[in-house]
Amino acid sequence: MSKKPMIHKLTNIVLVATGILCFTAFPSIGQAESNSISVNGARDLYESLEQKFTQQYDLDLEAYDSQYQQFLQQATEQGERLDELFEKDWAYLNDLFQEDYENLKATHGETDELETYSDKIDPNYLNSPMSEYDHEVDEDYLRSAHQSFAHAIDPNYLNSLMMDYDHAVDPDYLNSVMMDYDHTVDADYLNSTMQELDHGTDKDYLNSIMYKYDRGDLSQQQAEQKLTELFALSQKDLLETRNNTVETLNQLHEASITEYLDIRKNTVETIEEQRKETVEEILSFREEHFGGRIKVHSFDIIFETTNNGSDNTTHNDPVEAKNSAPINIDGSVFFGGNMQTFAQVPMFIQGPTSAPVRALFVTFGAVLDLFSGEQMV
């Protein structure tokens, strides 16, 4: 994983999932016909029904594919954003600890304790705290939290969340929800409901209702009764297939979102916990052997969910400039032989050391007063 030399403070992540839970409103096709079917109008009625269900299938296919593609795009964009922020935070910690190491080296010289400290902050040192954090945020590291999240939203990864969703809405995937729907309304698919209706109303199809009626094997009354039963059963099956498809895909969509949000939340929590352990182990060792601690920015990724299930969070972009994070100095100030304690300790900020000058001047005997007329201190 590339390690960019930048320092970042992670606050809130903008992960807007607008539209993820917006279900498509599908128009109703209608109820199964129960009126008597005339032999003279049977073929026209079949063609009208076939056209209606075929058009509706095309609309459903387009709508559910669009819904899936939108979900995939949003999840992919959010995954890329998390990848960026994980990498920046790792780089921030790496730079922070390396700079602190150089400061301690200049102050204390090369010691065994400092060498141990160097190993702990070395991401290439086996089982060091920084290597553990590096592995957890590395998308290419086997079974890392980040890799598990990346696999879940990858439609090309076997049995992933997104692959299962992709297959369900793909009419070309064997036994998918959309394939079963497609086959039911396809008059060219062997033994489909639409094909049975087509054959039953086609006088040129051997042993069809209209064929037998045309040959005189069935009376008009018998033929119309059989046609009425055939249309009623066919429409019932077509409507049930379509309604079951809609219900199944809506449930799949909702379940996929829920699972995705859980995976994302668990990924962030796992990485955040590893970061806490890494920072605490390093800072505890530093405090024990060198005294004091350096200031480490917090790692806060907050997800707030609105009533419709979409994310509504704000995000303050991380600080981009290198060395922008202040580093506390473990120094003491003496005046008149006595050590002074200040509320604000000296700090390194972008190179120079910043000291609390007001507290220093007061210690030296300076008096602070406000001249409101001249607006001067």
310 or 58, which is more confident:
58
Instruction: Tell me what the mean pLDDT of segment 118-133 comes to.
Output: 96
pLDDT digits over 237-248, tens only?
999 999 999 999
> What confidence category does residue 35 fall into, taking pLDDT thresholds of 50, 70 and 90?
confident
Question: What percentage of the chain has pLDDT greater than the value 90?
Answer: 68
Place of tokens 């396809």: 186
Q: How far is CA 55 from the centre of its chain?
A: 33
pLDDT at 217 over 50: yes
Instruction: Tell me what the mean pLDDT of segment 60-68 comes to.
Output: 97
Instruction: Tell me what the mean pLDDT of segment 95-116 comes to.
Output: 95
Beta-bridged to residue 338, according to DSSP, are: 335
Instruction: Report in angstroms the alpha-carbon separations of 297 from 70, 71, 309.
Output: 35, 33, 30
Instruction: Tell me what the mean pLDDT of segment 80-105 comes to.
Output: 94
pLDDT digits over 277-298, tens only?
999 999 999 999 999 889 999 8
Please name the residues in contact with 11: beta carbons below 8 A apart, sequence gap of 6 or more.
298, 300, 315, 316, 318
The predicted structure's pLDDT at residue 330 = 42
pLDDT digits over 145-179, tens only?
999 999 999 999 999 999 999 999 999 999 999 99
Place of tokens 């299962």: 164
Cβ neighbours, 10 Å, residue 81: 14
Instruction: Tell me what the mean pLDDT of segment 210-215 comes to.
Output: 96
pLDDT digits over 299-317, tens only?
877 654 444 444 443 333 3
Tokens of 242: 């379509």
- Average confidence score pLDDT of the chain: 81
Interhelix angle for 220-290 vs 145-152, to 10°?
Answer: 160
Cα separation, 15 vs 309, in Å, equals 12
CB 106 within 8 A of CB 292: no
Q: What is the pTM of this model?
A: 0.72
CB 244 within 8 A of CB 136: no
Three-state SS at 343: coil
pLDDT digits over 218-235, tens only?
999 999 999 999 999 999
Q: How is the beta sheet containing 327-328 ordered, strand by strand?
A: 327-328, 347-348, 353-354
pLDDT at 329 over 70: no
- Candidates 139, 135, 111; CA nearest to 125 is 135
pLDDT digits over 76-87, tens only?
999 999 999 999
Tokens of 363: 């210690």
The predicted structure's pLDDT at residue 248 = 98
pLDDT digits over 337-346, tens only?
455 555 565 5
Tokens of 293: 């601690």
Q: How far is CA 153 from the centre of its chain?
A: 7
Eight-class DSSP state of 217: S
- Candidates 84, 15, 8; CA nearest to 265 is 15
* 220-245 burial code (b ≥16 CB/10 A, e <16): eeebbebbbebbeebbebbbebbeeb
